[in-house]
Structure formats: C-alpha cells, structure tokens
Structure 1
Amino acid sequence: MSIAIRPLLTTYRAEFSDTLRLSIPIIIAQLGVVLMGVTDNLFVGRLLGALPLGAAGLANSLSFLMSSIGVGGLSVVAALVSKANSQDEPAAVNRLFRAGLRVALLLSVLVGGLSVLLAYNFDLFGQTPEVTRLARNFMLILSASLLPLLVFVATRQLCDGLRYPRVAMAITLSALAVNALFNYLLIKGFGPIPALGLMGSAMATLLSRLFMAGAMLAYVYRTSHFRPYLKKEFNALPTASEAWIILRLGIPGGLTFFFEVATFSLAVVIVGWLGEAQLAAHQIAINMASVTYMMATGISSAAAIRVSAAVGQFSRDGVWRAGVAAFLLSISFMSITAVVFLTANDWLVSLYIRDSPEVMTIAASLVIMAGFFQLSDGVQVVALGGLRGLSDVNIPTLITLFSYWVVALPLSYVLAFPFGMDAVGVWVGLLAGLSIAAVLLTWRFFRRATLFFETGVPVLSANQVAK
C-alpha cells in the first residue's frame, strides 16, 4: 500500500501544499461567518431566554438561506480574477473587482427586498404571535446588513483570487469579537447605551458586517499588494461586460448554493413533523456535519481558484493536477471525519446533551448516517469548485436541483413516513441525493477537464460567456 501511495504523494506534493495554503485561511474565514450567527444565538439564549432565542434562530436561518444566493453568486469572481491575473491582465482584474462591487449592490437590493418580503409574511411559518413579531423585526435588521455583507464578499473575491486569503480570515475573526462585544453592550445596555433586547443582537450583526466591509475595502485600497490593479487610469474602463459575465456565471452558482441550503432547511421541517426528540437529535447531527462541510468548501474554493488560473495559462496539466489534488485532499479529510463519526458517535453526542436518553439514542444513529455521507458531501462540493474554475455552472445547477429537490427531499419524506424509518429515513434520503450529486458532478468535472486536456482550449471562456 505504501508503495502505491508514495508515487502519488511525490507527484502531487506541490499541488497539495498549494491547495492547503489557499484552503486553510478560506476555511477559517467561512467558519467565522457561520460562527457569527452562533454568537448571536449564544448571547440571546444566555441573556434573554428561550422565546427570543427561538425567534433569533429562525430569523438567522432564513436570512442565511436568502443571503446564500448572493454569497454563492459572487463566489465566481475569485475564479475570474485568478484567471485574469494568471494572464497578466491587471486592467481586467480591476474591471472584475469594480463589476463585482456593482453586482453586490444589485444583489443586495434584490435579495434584501425578498428578505423584507419574507419578514412581512412570517405568518406563513405558523409560529406564535410573539415569535412572529420578534423574528420579523430581527430579520428586517438582518436584511439591511446584506449590503455590507455582500460588499465584503465581493471585495474578498479580489483578495482570494490574487491569493491573499489571510486578509478575509483576519478581518472575519476580528468581526467575531466586534459582534460579541456589541451583542453584550446592546442587548443589556451599558452607560448611555440603551438596552435594546433582541434587536440589540440584530444591530450587533449589522455593525459587525459594516466593520467587515469597511475593513476589507480599507485594506485593499491602502495596501501595496493591490496597487498594480487599482491604477487611476483603470477606473475609466467600462465594467458592463464583466458585470454581465459575473451575473451569467454567478446566478447559477448562487442558485446551486441556495438549493443545497434549502434542502437541509426543509429537511429540518420534515424531521420536526416526527417529534421534538427527533428534531433535537437532528440539530445535533447536522451541526457536526455542517462544520466538516464548511471545511470542504474551503478546499472547493481553492480548487476553483487554481483550476481557473491553469485555464488562464492554457495549462492542460495544471487543470488536471489542480482538480485531482483538491479531490484527494477532500477525500482524505472527509474519510478521517467519517471514521470519527462512525466510531465516536456516542461520545460526540454526549458533548451536546446528557440528560435525554431518547434524544441521545436518536442522535447517535444520525451521526452514523452523517459519517456515511461525509465522502459524498466532500466530493460534490469540490466538484462544484472545479467546475466553477472551468466556468461551467449551468448544468451543475440542474444537477444539484435534481439531486436535492427531485431525489433527496421526496425520498426523505417517503422513507420517514410511509416506510416508517423515522429520522434515519430523512438522512438516508439526504445521503442518496448527495451521492447522486457527487457522482454526476465528478463525472462532469473530469469530462470537461479531459476535453480541455485533449484540446488545450477552455471549455467555456469568459469571452464566450459574454457573447
């Protein structure tokens, strides 16, 4: 076995190192964004109690679902910047950066408007009047924070695409501290600062996102790394073509992210129909799976950046190596987490809860299911990143729609209720959808990479997209 592995490690050692160098800061930054919602929930639960916590949790979940369209849509910019930079076109990088900011403004208006509309129709979720009132007001403030969030994401794409991912990592970690501080000050009040209760937590999120956007823009415009791309003569160049490319590539990417997030959100609803114990157990297991998934998305982002750079250099070997290295890293990492989930499921559950044997039993079985779908989850997200690097987004969007909404959700319901498999049935359905997505997306990536490998021309170039 070691004889077979050694040549592989030797061949891909540089590829692994470069992918990890990009992945780790991106992973930390993405975990920081997710932890911001966790911070809100912790402060609200400790300082205000169960009812406001439920309202904040619901509003945060729905706001994350809505923002996924914008965040996923802008993620294509890093790949485009990487490609332009690999071709030594600083003017093109400048246009993409400015176009990304304009698209962020447009998406914040559109997605923010949908979020406000959803907030004013909270009655559709069948919550109590008090939860509806609190969640509506909380979500309205979160809707206002979408603009700075998407400006931060758009600016971050420039940094990631130019291979400076540590910038977003440092700013995001700083924003976590800002968020925690303002949660404490605004919920209970301090000196001249009035006590705002639950709305103080929402304001803390808004202020921390304003900090993130401001800090990111300040860093980009004041650091020497980016001066070659921000020359004054570039600012007169039009960006309409680049904005259209970002929208053409980004909207399918945003919908892909939305379909997956919505699938797991609706799975929570299905599990909730089974009972409170099943819902609590599901939340424990899905929380663990979400953490490992966010780590895999960092490898996916690195794959998109490295594949697109290879495309820009017309490097057939580079496209192949970047993709294979990302897949091998993701498979290795997710295999380790799968073993942990399968062998230490009871101990992992005990970290969350110890006073409910029923919930612990159900959760332990669901963590085992989470272990089984680690590989599928890691593979499908890396395949999406690689395809994004090849500017191939439309068919992958249809694949995810089919895998999650045609296969996963209906199968989850059928297995949970008519077949009586309870919460485990829901997770079997999710596993089936993820596995189908992993197979189809991986096949498509290597098919498209092979075409590039054979012909030496990009499967879908930016100019082709613009046309």
Structure 2
Amino acid sequence: MGQAPDHPQAAGSGLRALVTLAAPVVASRLGIMAMGLVDTIVVGRHSSADLGYHALAWAVTGVVLTTALGLLHGVQVMTSQAIGEGRAADTGAILRRGLVYALWIAVACASFLALAGGPILTAFHMAPGLAEGATPVLQVQAVSLIPIIIADAGLFWLEAHGRALPGTIAMWLANIINLAVNLWLVPGGNLLGVEGAVASAWATFASRGFLLIALAIIIIRWDKARAYGVFTRAPDDPAAAQAMRRVGYGAAGSYFIESLAFSAMAVFAGWISATAVAVWAVVINVAALIFMVPLGLSVATSVLVGRAYGARDRAAMLASAGQGFALTTVLLLLVSAGVWLVPDLIASAYSRDPAVIAGIASAMILSSLFFLADGLQVVGAQSLRARSDIVVPTATHMFSYVVVMMPLAWWLGVKSGGGVDGLIWAIIAASLLSALLLSGRFILLGRRPLPPPAEPASPLA
C-alpha cells in the first residue's frame, strides 16, 4: 500500500493547517447561503406574499436537501481517513462510488419532492393561500436538487484533499449567475413568463447546474486526479461502500432531525400569522448564513481530525478538535455582537413592510444568543463522526431538537402566544444542550486509547 505521490496535506495539523483549510471552506459555505440570501432579499423586496411562499417551499426542500447531503458525508470522512492512513491512491475509488451514490440519491429526492411536496404543505393547514402559493416554488426547487447533490459529492472530496479553493471560486461564480438570473426573472415581464418566488427557484436551478459543470472540470483537470484513481474504475468493494454509507447514515440522521425541527418552526410560524412566517423566513435565513461559518470550520476540523484518526495520532486529533472549538467560539462571539448592534439595518435589507421590519429587528436581537451554541454543536458532531463515532451525534440531535426543542417551541411560540420570540427561546435551549453533550462526548472519548487501524479494503498501491 502506498500514498499517491506528493500529498503534503496528509501530515498537516495545527492551527495554521486549520485556518488554511477552513478559510476557503467557510467561503464556500457562505457561497451556498449567499444564494439563499439573494433569493430571499430579491423575492422579499418584490412581494411579502412571495417571501412567505419561498420560505415555506424551502422549509420542505431544505429537509430533503440537507438529509441527502448528510448521506454523502461519508465521501469526505473516508477520504480524510484514507489520506491519514497513507492511502491517498484509494481516494479516486471513494469519489467514483460517491458520485454514483449521489446520482441515485438526487433522482430519488427530486422525484419524492416533486410528487409529495405539495400535499405535505397542504396537510399542515396553514393560513389561507400559503400552501397553494408555495407548491409551484417547491416543484422547481425539486428539479434543482439533482445538480447540487451530485456537485457536492465532488466538493466534499476536494475539501478532504485540502483543495477547497477551486470549489470556492466555482461556488461564487455560481452566485453571480444566481444574482443575474434573479434580477432578470423575479420582477416578471420576461420571456419565460415567470415572476416572484417561482422565478427565483429557476435562478437557483441555473446556478446549481453551472456549479456541477465547473466542479467536474476542476476535478478532471487536476494533475493528481489520475494518480488518485479518479479515471480508474473503482474495484468492487462492498465493505468500503458500506463504510462510506454508514458514515452517511449517521450524518443524514442528524441533518434530517435538525432540518425537520427547524422546518417545524416555519410551520409553527404559519400557525401564528402570515407576518410571523415572513419574520421567521428572515430569521432562519440570517441564522443559516451565520451558521455557514461554524459549518465551514467544522468541515476543516473534521478533515484534520479524520486524518489524525487515520494515522492513529491521538494528540493531533485532540489538538485539531480543540483548535476548532476555540476558533469557532472567537468568531461567533464577534458575529453575535455585530448582529446585536445592527438589527434594524438587517431588517430593512429584507423588507419594506413596517410590521415585518419591527418583528425582524426584535427577533435578530434575541437570535444572537444562540449562534455560538449552534456553532459549537456542529463542530462537536463533525469531529465525532471524523473519528468514526456515528450513533451518538445523531441520538444527541434527536433528543435536543425533537424531544426538547419542538415541544418547547410550540408551547412558547404558539400556545403561550410568544410568537417568533418564543420559537427562538426554544432554539437557544436546544442548541446549548446539544453543544454541551457533544463536546463532552468528544472529550470523554479523547481519554481512551484509539483502536488499531482497519485492514486496507483494496490492493491499490
């Protein structure tokens, strides 16, 4: 067994390695959310009603998409561990298996969402007209799942190799396309005959299609792709495929639980009022945008933890996780302070409706309290998965976000009349609980000896 030639990232560790990898990964994740930010702002300034349609459609689509991307998390973890074990030459096979897996997942998710998304919205009996207006938006979003799911398999693989920057550049070029198409289509009067939230969904499809093509070109043109086996048919290795899927099942379970719980907040907002839906749409959009910072840091942290775990270097593994937690804490405290200081500025960027602006400003002040806890819990979960601890993060998310947050949000936001502020208090409690449990779990496991490395699954040299 040997490593493909010249893979300097295999031994990379320390704060410098974390920052070097994290910076483009964070920029890439911010690029993902920038698409949603542009969609929300352009649609919101076009029509408050369309903003509600967009938010409700995304509430369902987001659950499906994040669950699908969780299923692909094994591509990144197995690639990182293989590099740490000195088997970078095997990573092309991991990518090829991941792309085939991604295609099946994408088609299944798009078909399910296109057929069942509308009836799901209707079943929640929200304010009149909301489900009917959101359904065509959701159907277009379903089509756009296919390119983004396949593209992200390639993006995860590149990041595990420390090649995050090319993917980041492609992501921001896709953002330019998304903005241009949004500005063309959303106001209406175009040749396609669409406007509002539906038009914005088509802009998302166009930008995601571009991203898929760009990432394919980046991987194919990489001079090390051949050495890593990208152009070689992956060997028939059920054990390796199962290991990749197993990591994905755990991540997908967590992502599904979290996204379902947060989507339930949108349903609760729909039970409150149409204004509450619009306010919640902005709250979750801003929170998701900020979440991309710790999410990117968690990816970088998990790559380094996975490499250290593959090399069975416990000291490097603990140091990488500790630095990830520390850097996340510093950055999110700064971000939270910024949001707390300028809530009115944020609100006015999203809407022209005075009632919506007032609700957004109040909610932004309160939301600044959960950003840090939410960030630390995702770093903890990703670090645990990188060291092959799969079940506990999912179980922790189930308890925190389903058992605790959802009933608490219903009670504080709907039953007790607390409105959107009540929903946010529930998120604060659940995120803090999750962060404490996951970080404690990583510290506990860090005191135990690491198991011996697994036998190589394939004979590639």
Structure 2: distance between partners of 1:343 and 1:44: 26
State the partner residue of 1:174. 173
Structure 2: distance between partners of 1:103 and 1:445: 30
Contact map agreement 1:259 1:404 (CA 8 A) in 2: yes
State the partner residue of 2:137. 138
Paired residue for 2:394, among 381, 384, 397?
397
SS in structure 2 opposite 1:224?
Answer: coil
Q: Which runs of structure 2 are paired with 1:423-462 in the superposition (5 Å)?
A: 423-451=420-448, 455-457=449-451
Q: Which runs of structure 2 are paired with 1:253-268 in the superposition (5 Å)?
A: 253-268=251-266
SS in structure 2 opposite 1:372?
Answer: coil
Q: CA deviation at 1:160?
A: 0.3
Please give the per-residue CA displacement for 1:328-368, whole angstroms capped at 9, x wherever unaligned: 00111122223334455456545556863x65665444333
1:330 has 2:324 as partner: no
Contact map agreement 2:78 2:94 (CA 8 A) in 1: yes
Structure 1: distance between partners of 2:340 and 2:143: 42
Structure 1: distance between partners of 2:408 and 2:402: 9
Q: CA deviation at 1:412?
A: 1.9
TM-score, length of structure 1 as denominator length: 0.85
- Residue segments in structure 2 that go unaligned for 5+ positions in a row: 1-12
Structure 1: distance between partners of 2:18 and 2:36: 28
Structure 1: distance between partners of 2:42 and 2:310: 46
Give the residue type in structure 1 aligned to 2:367.
A
Q: Which runs of structure 2 are paired with 1:41-440 in the superposition (5 Å)?
A: 41-44=40-43, 49-121=47-119, 122-126=121-125, 132=131, 135-184=134-183, 188=188, 194-197=192-195, 200-230=199-229, 232=231, 234-235=232-233, 237-345=235-343, 348-349=346-347, 352=350, 356=354, 362-417=359-414, 419=416, 421-440=418-437
Structure 1: distance between partners of 2:57 and 2:368: 29
Q: CA deviation at 1:442?
A: 0.8
Q: CA deviation at 1:395?
A: 1.6
RMSD value, Cα: 3.0
Gap change, CA 1:51 and 1:353, over 3 Å in 2: closer
Structure 1: distance between partners of 2:308 and 2:435: 23
Please give the per-residue CA displacement for 1:305-335, whole angstroms capped at 9, x wherever unaligned: 0000101111111101100000000111122
Identity %: 26
Contact map agreement 1:299 1:382 (CA 8 A) in 2: yes
Structure 2: distance between partners of 1:342 and 1:133: 36
Gap change, CA 1:135 and 1:375, over 3 Å in 2: closer
- Residue segments in structure 1 that go unaligned for 5+ positions in a row: 1-13
Q: CA deviation at 1:43?
A: 4.7
State the partner residue of 2:3. none
Contact map agreement 2:48 2:278 (CA 8 A) in 1: no
TM-score, length of structure 2 as denominator length: 0.86
Q: CA deviation at 1:150?
A: 1.1
Which stretch of structure 1 is more off in the superposition, 101-110 or 129-138?
129-138
Contact map agreement 2:99 2:154 (CA 8 A) in 1: yes
Gap change, CA 1:462 and 1:442, over 3 Å in 2: farther
Structure 1: distance between partners of 2:456 and 2:116: 37
Highest RCO, 1 vs 2 (Cα 8 Å, sep ≥ 6): 2
Contact map agreement 1:99 1:239 (CA 8 A) in 2: no
Q: CA deviation at 1:422?
A: 4.2
